[in-house]
Structures are given as C-alpha cells and as structure tokens.
Structure 1
Amino acid sequence: MKRTVLSGSFCMVMTVLPAASVQAAQATRASFGHTADGQDVEIVTLTNDRGLQARVMSYGASLQSLLVPDRNGKLADIVLGYDALQGYLDHRQYFGATVGRYANRIAHGKFTLDGKNYSLTLNDGPNSLHGGAKGLDMQVWKVTDVKQGPNASVTLEYVSPDGDQGYPGTLTVKATYTLSNDNELKIAYVATTDKPTIVNLSNHTYWNLAGEGSGTAMDQVLTIPGNAITTVDAQSIPDGHVVPVAGTPYDFRVGKPIGRDIGDGHSQQLLFGHGYDMNWVLSHKEIEARMVARVMDPHSGRVMSLWSSKPGLQFYSGNFLDGTTVGKDHHIYRQGDAFVLEPQLFPDTPNHPDFGSARLAPGETYRNTIVYRFGTDSGRNDIK
C-alpha cells in the first residue's frame, strides 16, 4: 500500500509492504563477548515478520546492526559498526551508541547550575563531548527486559553515580528499543535523578541507506524542515547566534542530495566542521512529536523518516571517517560514507539561557523518544 505523510513542508509518499498476517515479532539474546575487566556484553536481536532485524548491544546501549529491505525486498545492514565487540572497545567512534549524559558539546566542560559551578571531563580538545571521557556510550548497560511481539523490545538500564564525569546527581537511565511489524524502530530514553542535574540523551547511529560499506552516502536525498541553525566557532561550540538557512548550503527544507552543497567554500560553518556538523533549529521548545528528517536512497529506494519532539537536530555528514576504520565485513569507512541525525536539545544549552533549559530535578522524568520509520519509494530522486 502507499502511505502519504503530511508534516509542515513535507509531503511524503512511500510504499509500505502489507503484512501477510499479524505474527509475533521475535526477540533473542546472546553473549557478544566480554570487556577487559570481565563484564559480559549481551546482544539482543529483534526481528519482525517482514524480515527487518535490529541487533542491540548492551555496551553503550547501541544499535549494532539493522537489516532493512530495499525496493526489491533485498536486505542490507544500513548502520556502520564492527562485527565483534573488540572493535567498539578499541575505537570510540560512537557507532550506534547512546550518547550522554549530555549529547553534543559543552564549552570548556563547564556549566553553572543553581549557582554552583561544575567541571566535566574533557575529551574534545578544551571541551566535553557526548558525556566526557567515559560517557554512557562506554558503559555496559544491564538488560532488564526482553519482550516478543506483536512488537519485540529490549530495555536496558544504567545507573550513573553522582559525580560521574563531573555531573551532579545519581542518574538512572533506561533505553527501550522496540521493533514493530510496521517496520518502525523506536528508541525511548527515560532518565531520573536524585539531585538537580543536566541531561540530554540521543542516539549516534551512522546511517547509509544503500548499506554499510557500499561507499558514499552523499547522493542520498535529505530533507530537514528546520528554518535556522545555531552557528558555531572553530571549536564547534555555539557562538550564540541563530541564523536562517535560506540561501545557504544548510537549507534542506526541500530535499536535496547531502553532498550537493557540501563543497561550498564560502561557508565558514562547513569549513569549521569539515562538512555538515551543526544543529538545526526545529522549534524553540519541545512540542508534539513530528517528522524532523527524511532520507531517501535513489539506488535502493530505501526511505527513512525520523520523528521526535526535541527542538534540535544535529546533522553530521561523517566528515572524520578518514579511511583508517575497518568496519563490518572488512569494509573501510571513508569520509562521507555515512551520516548521523541526532534529535536533542541544542548543544551547550547550559551556557546559553536563550537556548532553553537542560535541567532535570528530582521527581521529574527526562524523555527523548526517537522513531525511525522505514519504507521504499518508486525510484524518483525526491518526493515533495
């Protein structure tokens, strides 16, 4: 059947394969290896009745692989990563990982909360990135629940102690991955704290809808309905300005190939990031979940739409994949071979009051639900 989705400037038509019957989606769990200190890392495989398969690893609560059919029904793994645990342990590249406590950057690793100054571990030059030197992506999470269909799911939990990487409060985080028979993968993040803290969680999967290891993803057609970006300095820290995308290489309001304008040397932002690595302003506060991005691969016909309620979307075009990473099936990953889309709060929000608030207090619940919907199109380069 054909599904038409209207959302703001989007009008999307994609083919969704009808289910022959309502069957239970399957979930299995197994060991994926051990860390150097002997912790067992599990991998849970979720499979729906159309063949879509997600593998979720307890190291970093990470999406390790995702098999999705193309327009001819051929399955391919569309996320970058490693075949074995050791690759993730040896090379911190955030492949598929849950990032936090604060996704993205905090300038100089410093912020003030309720009149008290805090200093975080630094791991990105003079700044703190994705939670610091040992963020949530480097922790072994506990698998607390595994369920079978009609929707298969796995829930993982990690308790980050007070002072971890410099963050105040004991933070209890849960990540639930759910796979439906409608080819929808949902990641629901929930967090609570025992004292005021800051939280911004997201997922850092590297996507290539043609299949990991297939080469460049720069011809894949991206749409982002954001009217502005938060500009950054040479350290990729927001400079406090919000600028319109109209007339710039950052305008993806009408879908275009990712690489079409990536070589525009007039853009200081592209020079700073060696490509796209910036936050799109979708709203100035959390609103009802809506489509925040759509990607279509013209070769395979795979379409992914991304839904979230968060105000920002960090888009990164795989600029620092430099040909030294050997991933799954011995594939070498090079610049532009994948992209990352992270729904989240704006980067460095704790140091920019105009950006909103990242504060979480005892008795409150932080949530970020990210939904990926997969289908195929008829092969046109874009559908508006």
Structure 2
Amino acid sequence: MKKTFFAAIAAGMLFAACNPTAPVGNLTESGLDKKNFETELNGKKTDLYVLTNPSGMEVCITNYGGRIVSVMVPDKEGKKKDVVLGFDSIHDYITISNNYGALIGRYGNRIGNGTFEIDGNKYDLPKNNFGHTLHGGNRGFDTQVFDANLVSDNVLELTYLSKDGEEGFPGNLNVKVTYILSEDNAIQIKYEAETDKPTVVNLTNHSYFNMDGDPNSTNTDWLLTIHADQYTPIDSTFMTTGEILTVESTPMDFRTPTAIGARIDDATFTQLVNGKGYDHNWVLNTGGDISKVAATLESPKTGIVLDVYTTEPGMQFYAGNFMEGTDKGKKGIVYKHRTAACLETQKYPDTPNKKDWPTTTLRPGEKYQSETIFKFSVKK
C-alpha cells in the first residue's frame, strides 16, 4: 500500500493545473507556490485554490483534506499576516501526520472505545487515540482528495463520496463543503451531507490559528472569550465523562477575555492535568444561533481579532498542547509547543454513546447541515 501511495505522489508531480484566481505567476500573496500542491493521489488531482475579496484578504485551500493552508489578513498597522499554520507543499501534508487546517470527518473529535450502535447494529472503528476513535479514524476526511469546483474568486465547493464501510462507518455519505470569503473578511464554511444508511456525522475545521501571524510566538498572551457557562469534562484518555459542569470559579471560565496562558498550567485543576492544558469541549450559550458570537480570539500584539459564529452547540478549544517542535511548517519554521489555538465547532464528543446529548445520527432522506463563520477584524 505504501509503495503504491508514494508512487502515485511521484507520478502526480508531472502535471500542472491552473487556478485563474491566483496572483501573477505561481506564488500566492502568502508566498505559497501552487506547483508544490499539484499531484495525483488514487487517481485524483490535488491543487491549491486561492480565494480573494475586494478588501484584499486571501485564503488558500487545498482539496487534499479540504485544508485551509493560509489566511492573509491585515494587522493594526495594515500589514498583512498569515494567521494559520500549515505546510509549503502537498508532500508535507501527506507524509507528516497532522491535521493542520483540515476538514475533519466523518466524526470530528472522539468516539469512545471506537464503537457505537444505531438501531441495534454495532459498528467498530479504528482506535487511533488512547483506545478511542479520533477525527474519523486513521484515514479520515483530512487524508482524502475532494473534488473541487472553484465557483468564483471567493467561493470554493468541495465534494466527496465517503463509501459505506470507510473507516468502519455505515452508509454511502455524500459530502459537500462550501468555503465563502465575504467582503467583510469572514470565511464562511457550509457543510452538507446525505446518506443511504443510518450513520453518524460531525464535521468541523481544524485550523491552527496563530493570531500574531508569527509561528515563532506562542498563544500565552492571546485573549480568548468563549460564551459558554458549561463544559464537558474529560478523563485521562481525553474522553468525555458524560457530565456537563459549570465553568464558574474554574480555569475553564472564559466568559470574559482571558489570556490563554493565565491558568493553562494550573496543576491543582484535574481537568487541565487530564488535557495537558486546554483540550475540551465547551457547551455554547448561543444555542445554534449563527448571528451570535460564540467565541473571540485576539492578539494584543497585532490587534487581529477572530470572531467565531456557528450553528453547532459545542466548540472544542485546543491549545496546541501536543505540538512538540517536530513539525517544520511554512517557510521552514519549526512549530513549537502551543504556537496555535484551534476552535473546532461541533456536536459534543462521543455523542453517539451519550444519548442525552445533541444527536449526530443522520438517516436516509435527511440532510446534515452545519455552518461556521471565522470573521477577522482589527482592534487598534
């Protein structure tokens, strides 16, 4: 399998495609070379797609794993910054185990013990994380090549058929994800899916945001607000316990802007020990109302502000606790411990095994629909 896989990579390097929205030449504003994203995997071509808006914002996305590769936004001095981590080539995305910027599915986050039941039928999944299934298994959507349709300068549609039994999940699942870059510097992500058998679906985006636009900086001083009165605690294997607890008087309280590093290493709080820092799901107060801000992330240094809106009931905040300085990212910069923050909108983890939580079950004739907006602005 490995020989075939890498042979496909080598063969694919022989062709080139053209993206009419890219700047003159092959380099994007963020410095990416499109040629480095052109290959072929399992008979499908990969490429880099560039979205732009009249405000001058640029978003680069590859159809390999539906990954957001770069996001160029202005800071408080008007200087453009790339505020997501990633790699300079498709080769690195394929050969380095990672989920930078990825579209996560079929099930974002964890399914306990790698198993669940629907209508009395038991399904066993790959156990790839402390005895549980994380982010769809070993070959989740982050490793798949999506069919791409560049609708316009600011709209990209990605589609994928996840076949019945893929990574153990039932049903042929037709997935469509649309990325829209608005004039007011917002990335709108619309998820849709339909199935021919009862299955579970929980799609999200796993961008690693660096609000300083500097991969050498850590998230310690970034200000985070999460509009949530409750969160779902985890055990030492990062699995939700089934409880929903208050954030009141705990380091989990981000209802007012708080520096990420202020309490992250509090060894007296068991949840931070279990998560090796923040790696938890918050129960959002927004109730699925996408007109309300669910979370805000801000860099005092650059003034760049990210507001998150979503139709989802939960959001996983991950503070890069497992970043160990082993991944060499864009421009050859090594990504050190906690140089990013992930804000993954979602249903709660392990919902298929916790029947009182918001369901992720999708049945034939139903349509899965979810929407998340990452809106950027500047605080001067």
TM-score under structure 1 normalisation? 0.88
Per-residue CA shift, 1:20-61, capped at 9, x if unaligned? xxxxxx834966222565642111101112221000100001
Larger displacement relative to structure 2 (122-131 or 99-108): 122-131
Aligned to 2:131: 126
**Residue 351 (structure 1) aligned with residue 353 (structure 2):** yes
Query: Which residue does the alignment assign to 2:111?
Result: 106
Q: Extract unaligned runs of 5+ from structure 2.
A: 1-19, 27-33
Cα deviation, residue 329, structure 1: 0.6
Aligned-pair CA distance for 1:112? 0.6
1:238 maps to 2:240: yes
Residue matched to 1:228: 230
Rounded Cα–Cα distance in structure 2 between residues aligned with 1:35 and 1:165? 22
* 1:14-163 map, 5 Å: 27-28=21-22, 32-35=37-40, 37=42, 39-148=44-153, 152-163=154-165
- TM norm structure 2: 0.89
**8 Å contact kept, 2:298–2:306:** yes
Any residues of structure 2 matched to 1:196-235 within 5 Å, and which? 196-235=198-237
How many residue pairs get matched?
350
Question: Match for 1:367 among 361, 366, 369?
Answer: 369
Structure-1 separation of matches of 2:199 and 2:43: 31
SS in 2 for 1:250: coil
Q: Is the 8 A contact 1:27 1:146 kept in 2?
A: no
> Which AA in structure 2 matches 1:27?
T
Q: Which of residues 251, 254, 257 is equivalent to 2:256? A: 254
Question: In 1, are the aligned partners of 2:290 and 2:309 still within 8 Å (CA)?
Answer: no
Q: Find the counterpart in structure 1 of residue 183 from structure 2.
A: 181
Aligned partners of 2:161 and 2:41: how far apart in 1? 20
Task: Name the SS for the 1:241 alignment partner.
Answer: coil
- Whole-angstrom distance in 2 between the partners of 1:144 and 1:172: 15
Contact 1:195-1:361 within 8 A present in 2 as well: yes
Deviation at 1:356, TM superposition (A): 2.3
Rounded to whole Å, the distance in 2 between the matches of 1:88 and 1:201 is 20
1:301 paired residue number = 303
Which amino acid in 1 is paired with 2:225?
Answer: T
> How big is each residue's C-alpha offset from its partner over 1:133-164, in whole Å with a ceiling of 9 and x where there is no partner?
1000000101034213xxx1100101000011
Q: Could you say which residue in structure 1 is the equivalent of 2:3?
A: none
Cα distance per residue 1:209-266 (max 9 Å; x no partner)? 1114131122110000111110111111111111100110110000111110001111
TM superposition shift of 1:174: 0.9
Contact 2:286 2:294 in 1 (8 A): no
Distance (whole Å) between structure 1 residues aligned to residue 65 and residue 241 of structure 2: 30
Cα displacement string for residues 79-109 of structure 1 (whole angstroms, at most 9, x for unaligned residues): 0000111110011211000001000000111
Stretch moving more, 56-65 or 289-298? 289-298
Identity over aligned pairs, percent: 39
**Secondary structure in structure 2 of the residue aligned to 1:291:** coil
Deviation of residue 285 (structure 1)? 6.0
Stretches of 4+ moved more than 6 A in 1? Answer: none
8 Å contact from structure 2 (residues 125, 133) kept in 1: yes
Aligned 8 A contact 1:158 1:173 in 2? yes
Letter of the 1:346 counterpart: Y
Greater shift in the superposed pair: 43-52 or 106-115: 43-52
Does structure 1 retain, via aligned residues, the 8 Å contact 2:285–2:294?
A: no
Q: CA RMSD in A?
A: 1.6
Given that residues 288 and 310 in structure 2 are in contact (C-alpha distance below 8 angstroms), is that contact kept between their aligned partners in structure 1? no
Counterparts of 1:315-354 in structure 2 under 5 Å?
Answer: 315-354=317-356
Q: Distance in 1 between matches of 2:51 and 2:41?
A: 27
Question: 2-side partners of 1:338 and 1:144: how far apart?
Answer: 30
Q: Measure the CA separation in 2 of the matches of 1:225 and 1:156.
A: 30
- Gap regions ≥5 residues in structure 1: 1-25, 379-384
Aligned equivalents of 2:265, 2:312: Cα separation in 1: 29
Distance 1:36-1:192 versus aligned 2 partners, 3 A rule: closer
CA shift, 1:286, in A, is 3.9
In the alignment, residue 192 of structure 1 is paired with which amino acid? E
Structure of higher RCO (CA pairs closer than 8 Å, 6+ residues apart): 1
